[in-house]
């Protein structure tokens, strides 16, 4: 079971998905070809980008976590399997008998191992289906044929600290990395630099193909949150609420959750990244549900804060409406040309004034006691996606997610204790007004209470 996704990810991605039995809306190979072309355009003269696939991460003993490709690697290749290496050259290089400006190095075929992990892609499929100019198996690839010493700049890969050595496999990620370091660590005349600045520039702006998948992930997630609103009064625990929303993701086509679901009731809703999700509800709890489904690698990120009994208390409603007002101001700030932090400045201004007016704080600067995180981040292949965090640009997608969290023991009136509220939506920056991609999901108290109490 631990290797099943290797098989499925590769099986679908290769183009067998063209059968009507499988997904037919995957990113096309031309998308990844164009991403590599755009990367070359941003690279320095006489340079090379070196990138490795994600490591296989062990869960316990002989069970691994479900494999997920490194987002940068996937973005450039469309290749979903482990133990691979990518080289992109600014200008064509002669490597052995081949002259090319790119090469993908993959695991050799292994019929015995493939009985367990699923079929591995062939070199012919990499060049044919994924449209790579050059590819080879690791057992026939001589890394020493790459003229690393002749480059002016190497955009170095990130080396993960959890790469394990399979002593039975001399062509795994551990050995690819080891050989690369052996050849490059001693270079004195070549500038080495990170590659994330280049990738942040590329991934920040979403293409039409990416926006189609993001919209799908967000639509699936909105439907799951709607289902939870309708069924929440039938649940008695955080984990039952989690089960309802995550069932909705899977049933409607999401391959996975985009991140561990946060489902916190009462005091747990005051913990920003609470994921234990084991508490039984009390009748007066407000439930913070921060959950998003992942579709073809792209994830939604949506939060709603719901009364488990179907009606917000007076104190809960006051805090909820303050957060909602702050979010509305944050969304208004989602304009191309505004600085990225403008959304946080807008939400913070509302929350500062509101908390002072309510007597929860005396000094406006103390608002960070109850609103202690940022308002926005980019969204895409990662839930906290790559981006430059400079000016907002058209066709980037960000979240707007202010919150107020008042745990027990806070220095304010006890009536506010145990109220945690976060409202989060996914917003597309355009050349005009922002588009709230998750707008179909109710946000107002009246809409939420009507929906929760309309189902008997």
Q: Which of 215, 329, 422, 425 is catalytic?
A: 422
d(CA 221, CA 132): 34
Mean pLDDT value across the chain: 94
State residue 455's pLDDT score. Answer: 76
Say which of 267, 401, 425, 449 is annotated catalytic.
401
Q: Is the pLDDT at 326 greater than 60, yes or no?
A: yes
Active site includes 62?
Answer: yes
- Which entry of 70, 102, 210, 301 is annotated as an active-site residue? 301
Tell me if residue 296 is catalytic.
no
The DSSP bridge pattern shows strands 286-291 and 302-307 to be antiparallel
Helix (H), strand (E) counts: the chain: 12, 19
Examine the pLDDT at 6 and tell me if it is beyond 90. Answer: no
For the segment 48-90, what is each residue's pLDDT rounded down to a tens digit?
999 999 999 999 998 999 999 999 999 999 999 999 999 999 9
d(CA 353, CA 148): 58
d(CA 325, CA 340): 19
405 catalytic residue (yes or no): yes
DSSP state of 251: H
Going from the C-alpha of 304 to that of each of 68, 218, 354, the distances in angstroms are 27, 14, 20
Is 75 labeled as catalytic in the residue annotation? no
- Tell me the two tokens of residue 102: 């790119």
Q: What is the pLDDT of residues 152-193, one digit of tens each?
A: 999 999 888 889 998 888 899 999 999 999 999 989 889 999
The CA distance from 450 to 166, in Å, is 56
Q: Span 258-282, mean pLDDT?
A: 98
pTM: 0.94
DSSP 8-state class, residue 333:
T
Three-state DSSP class for 284? coil
Residue 277 has pLDDT above 80, yes or no: yes
* Residue 94, strand partner residues: 99
Reported as a pLDDT band with limits 50, 70 and 90, residue 380 is very high
Cα distance between residue 406 and residue 370, in whole Å: 6
Q: How far apart are CA 182 and CA 174, in angstroms?
A: 12
Walk me through the domains of the chain, giving residue ranges and CATH numbers: 4-202 (3.40.350.10), 205-454 (3.90.230.10)
Q: Is 120 a catalytic residue?
A: no
Which tens digits make up the pLDDT trace of 7-58? Answer: 344 444 444 444 579 999 999 999 999 999 999 999 999 999 999 999 999 9
Is 301 tagged catalytic? yes
DSSP3 helix / strand / coil % (the chain, rounded to 5): 40, 20, 40
Angle formed by the axes of helices 29-42 and 196-204, nearest 10°: 130
Task: Taking the CA atoms of 96, 98, 102 and 108 in sequence, report the sign of the dihedral they define.
Answer: negative
The contacts of residue 84 (CB under 8 Å, 6+ apart) are 52, 53, 73, 77, 104, 105, 106, 107, 173, 176
CA pair distance 166, 65, nearest whole angstrom:
16
Q: Is pLDDT at 271 greater than 60 in this prediction?
A: yes
Q: Residue ranges of the alpha helices (H) in 278-341?
A: 314-332
Is 251 an annotated catalytic residue?
no
């Amino acid at each position: 079971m631990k290797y099943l996704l290797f098989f499925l990810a590769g099986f679908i991605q290769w183009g067998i998905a063209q059968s009507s039995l499988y997904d037919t809306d995957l990113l096309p190979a031309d998308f990844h070809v164009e991403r590599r072309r755009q990367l070359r355009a941003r690279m320095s003269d006489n340079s090379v980008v070196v990138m490795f696939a994600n490591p296989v991460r062990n869960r316990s003993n002989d069970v691994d976590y479900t494999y997920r490709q490194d987002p940068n690697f996937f973005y450039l290749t469309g290749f979903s399997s482990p133990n691979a290496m990518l080289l992109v050259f600014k200008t064509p290089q002669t490597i052995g008998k081949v002259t090319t400006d790119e090469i993908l190095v993959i695991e050799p075929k292994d019929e015995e191992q493939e009985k367990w992990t699923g079929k591995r892609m062939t070199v012919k499929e990499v060049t044919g289906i994924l449209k790579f100019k050059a590819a080879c198996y690791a057992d026939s690839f001589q890394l020493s044929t790459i003229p690393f010493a002749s480059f002016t700049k190497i955009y170095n890969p990130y080396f993960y600290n959890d790469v394990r050595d399979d002593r039975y496999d001399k062509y795994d990620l551990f050995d690819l990395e080891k050989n690369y370091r052996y050849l490059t660590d001693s270079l004195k005349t070549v500038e080495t630099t990170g590659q994330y600045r280049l990738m942040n520039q590329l991934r920040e702006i979403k293409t039409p193909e990416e926006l189609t998948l993001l919209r799908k992930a967000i639509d699936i997630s909105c439907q799951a949150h709607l289902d939870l609103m309708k069924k929440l009064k039938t649940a008695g625990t955080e984990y039952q609420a989690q089960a309802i929303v995550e069932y909705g993701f899977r049933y409607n086509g999401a391959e996975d959750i985009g991140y561990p679901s946060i489902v916190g009731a009462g005091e747990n809703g005051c913990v920003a990244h609470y994921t234990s999700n084991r508490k039984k509800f009390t009748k007066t709890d407000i439930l913070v549900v921060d959950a998003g489904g992942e579709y073809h690698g792209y994830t939604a990120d949506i939060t709603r804060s719901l009364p488990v009994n179907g009606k917000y208390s007076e104190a809960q409603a006051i805090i909820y409406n303050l957060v909602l007002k702050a979010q509305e101001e944050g969304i208004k700030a989602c304009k191309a040309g505004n600085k990225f932090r403008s959304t946080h400045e807008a939400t913070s201004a509302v929350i500062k004034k509101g908390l002072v007016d309510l007597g929860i704080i005396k000094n406006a600067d103390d608002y960070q006691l109850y609103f202690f995180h940022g308002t926005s981040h980019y969204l895409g292949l990662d839930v906290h996606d790559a981006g430059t965090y400079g000016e907002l640009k058209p066709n980037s997608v960000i979240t707007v997610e202010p919150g107020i969290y008042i745990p027990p023991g806070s220095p304010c009136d006890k009536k506010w204790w145990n109220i945690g509220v976060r409202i989060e939506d996914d917003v597309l920056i355009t050349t005009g007004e922002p588009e709230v991609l998750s707008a179909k999901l109710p946000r107002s108290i009246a809409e939420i209470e009507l929906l929760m109490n309309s189902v008997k």
